[in-house]
Amino acid sequence: MKFSTSTQNLLAGLQLVSRAIGTEQVLPVLQNILIHAEGKRCTLSATNLELSIVTSFEVQIENEGSITVPAKAILNFMQYNQDGEVLLETSEGTQLKLHSKHAKATIAGEAASGFPTIAGIQRESSLTLAIPSLLKGLSLVTFACAKTTSRPVISGVFTRLERGALILVGTDSYRLSEFKMDTAAASGEVSCIIPARFLEELKGVIALERGRAEAGGEKTNEETKDGEKVAKGKTGLESVDVFLSSQQIEVHVGPTRLISRLIDGKFPDYAQVLPKEKTSTVSVSAKELLSAVKRMHYFAKELNNNITFSFTKSGVHLTTKQTQIGRDESTIGAELTGKETKIAISSTYLIDFLSRIDGGNIGIELSDKMHPAVFRVPEADRYLHLIMPLRMSEE
């Protein structure tokens, strides 16, 4: 194998696929990146057997071939190489030589035959999603998923297609986010649980691919050897293509593919926890509420992050329990429709939610102190966030 390419393109590709490499791998080869040169393109691949990322870009090839090399070694060389072009060449079968104007290195690799095969999935359904709406939905949903895998079904985002809208739901049993977004195109049935980690990596890949496209790394609407569309040059990426099978998901972001297993199991029937009726509705500034909760969290965190909210006609009064280091309280202007009420809510969960809101007012729907509070954002009318109440201290 022998080819030359721009340092920028190779480094961008390496950074993309290395996101699939975990910190702890049972098989040493999973710490490697597969480099494959064929036709006019170089394809880079990495996997941890749960998540796989594959990307490609144009290069000038003298000899086709493949090799797998340690990700850390080649990334270290490329990150600190200041030359604009680099030549990659294999020697003695498993040695990769890198040459540029002022630097050269040899990395001990392994034969490509020892690297796991990353095959495309059997496509049973497909979606095309606009990137701005997708990123907004992921930002508002994935944070609510469980961070541990003790209950795998709630460590992912429940995704279903209903009446032309894609519905994303995340929960950890104490809070829940639901976001509905339009699809540019869809075929087949969609009802699955996508690992939250995969979706977090997808956000990172979209950001990196947008940067690569804006830098002019790929030509507009160029077709790869397999007929896949690549990035739209300096206009940037506008959408992603999603393909699903019964057990896997594959997402195409420009010339990059992400493949992951889906989570097997039945997602909780979350409709049962959504309050059927409300007795109070409050409109309050998200910015003011976030500022007050952040300040009061210093005291609230001493006792289960508990903040008591009293909703009255004159505003919202927030108080913390008395702790050894003190207590705090605050009053914020708000508009209340319905009866006055109280509820205790976790300051940590409120900060997580409010930090993702782009200002303006939010609506809070309440039933009583025993039922969850439902938060709505007027600018995102197809989104709701729910937080279960805490035991309220009666003073």
Structure confidence at residue 134 (pLDDT): 96
Query: Considering Cα of 145, then 259, then 134, then 180, what sign does the dihedral take?
Result: negative
- Phi, psi at 192, each rounded to 5°: -155, 170
Instruction: Compute φ and ψ for 132, nearest 5 degrees.
Output: -55, -45
If one counts every other C-beta atom within 10 angstroms of the C-beta of residue 185, the result is 10
| Distance, CA of 386 to CA of 51 (rounded, Å) | 30
Q: What is the pLDDT of residue 227?
A: 44
CATH superfamily assigned to domain 2-114: DNA Polymerase III, subunit A, domain 2 (3.10.150.10)
**Amino acid in the structure at residue 217:** G
Supply φ then ψ for residue 273, to 5 degrees: -95, -10
Give dist(CA 230, CA 220) in Å, integer. Answer: 8
Tens of pLDDT, residue by residue over 229-284, are 443 434 468 999 999 999 999 999 999 999 999 999 999 999 999 988 999 999 99
Note the pLDDT of residue 338. Answer: 96
* Total residue length of the chain: 395
Give pLDDT, residue 345: 97
Question: What is the topology classification, in CATH, of domain 125-261?
Answer: DNA Polymerase III; Chain A, domain 2 (3.10.150)
Residues of the chain with pLDDT under 50: 219-235, 395
Domain range annotation of the chain: 2-114, 125-261, 274-387
pTM listed for this prediction: 0.89
* Tokens describing residue 324: 């050894």
pLDDT at res. 50: 92
Q: What is the CATH number of domain 274-387?
A: 3.10.150.10
Q: Which of 38, 14, 241, 30 is nearest to 118 (CA)?
A: 30
Asked if 2-114 and 274-387 have one fold, the answer is: yes
Q: Give the model's pLDDT for residue 220.
A: 37
Q: Which tokens sit at 129?
A: 């999603």
Q: What is the pLDDT of residues 331-380, one digit of tens each?
A: 999 999 999 999 999 999 999 999 999 889 999 999 999 999 999 998 78
* C-beta separation of 314 from 261 below 8 A: no
Residues 186, 189, 194: CA angle, nearest 5 degrees: 90
- How far is Cα 120 from Cα 137, in angstroms, rounded to an integer? 26
pLDDT at 24: 72
Task: Decide the pairing of beta strands 95-99 and 51-58.
Answer: unpaired
